[in-house]
Structure 1
Amino acid sequence: MSDDSDRSPITDGYVVPIAGLIALCFAVMAGLTAPRALSGEPAQALLPIGFAIGALAALRLSQRHAAASADSDDVAADDEAR
């Protein structure tokens, strides 16, 4: 039953879309809290900044996983061609 790949079949195609949705949620939350931060104290600006950093981190995770998946697919294709 094994296809001799080192990736888990459960998480194979789910990481990139879920990380993208998390990034979208963080970006929306940052946008919703930005007006309060702009009109209030400087300490209130930490919340939207934190959400923006979370969105960027989730996007970076998504890109890294997509690149790792593409690299492993290329290696698998090269191995099959030999």
Structure 2
Amino acid sequence: MSDGSDRTTVTDGYVVPIAGLMALLFAVMAGLTAPRAFSGEPTEALLPIGFAVGSLAALRLSQRHAAANADADAEMSDDETA
């Protein structure tokens, strides 16, 4: 979403914090639904497992985006020194 200039898009600074909050939210929901999974039927275990998978996916997205930003920043600083 760039016009060819060195400006970054508006959303660059928001992805990592929002993905981190989503990971925390999914982890909390998995913890809140876990007791029902342990005391109920085996099919009730799917909800906390789904929340745990969502938490891990959001955490992974956050890490990948942070790493991509770090690589882009490193390339930009290398270009400025050259």
Same fold (TM over 0.5): yes
**In the alignment, what sits opposite 1:72?**
72
**In the alignment, what sits opposite 1:22?**
22
**In the alignment, what sits opposite 2:81?**
81
State the TM-score, normalizing by the size of structure 1.
0.92
Identity %: 71
4+ aligned runs moved over 2 Å, structure 1: 2-7
What is the RMSD computed on CA atoms of the aligned residues?
1.6
**In the alignment, what sits opposite 1:4?**
5
**In the alignment, what sits opposite 1:32?**
32
Q: In the TM superposition, what is the alpha-carbon distance from 1:7 to its structure 2 partner?
A: 3.7
- For structure 1, which runs of at least 5 residues remain unmatched after alignment? none
State the TM-score, normalizing by the size of structure 2.
0.92
1:41-77 Cα shifts (integer Å, max 9, x gaps)? 0000000000000000000000000000000000000
- For structure 2, which runs of at least 5 residues remain unmatched after alignment? none
Matched letter for residue 29 of structure 1: M
Q: Distance in 2 between matches of 1:53 and 1:65?
A: 18
Q: Distance in 2 between matches of 1:65 and 1:79?
A: 21
Q: Distance in 1 between matches of 2:55 and 2:24?
A: 7
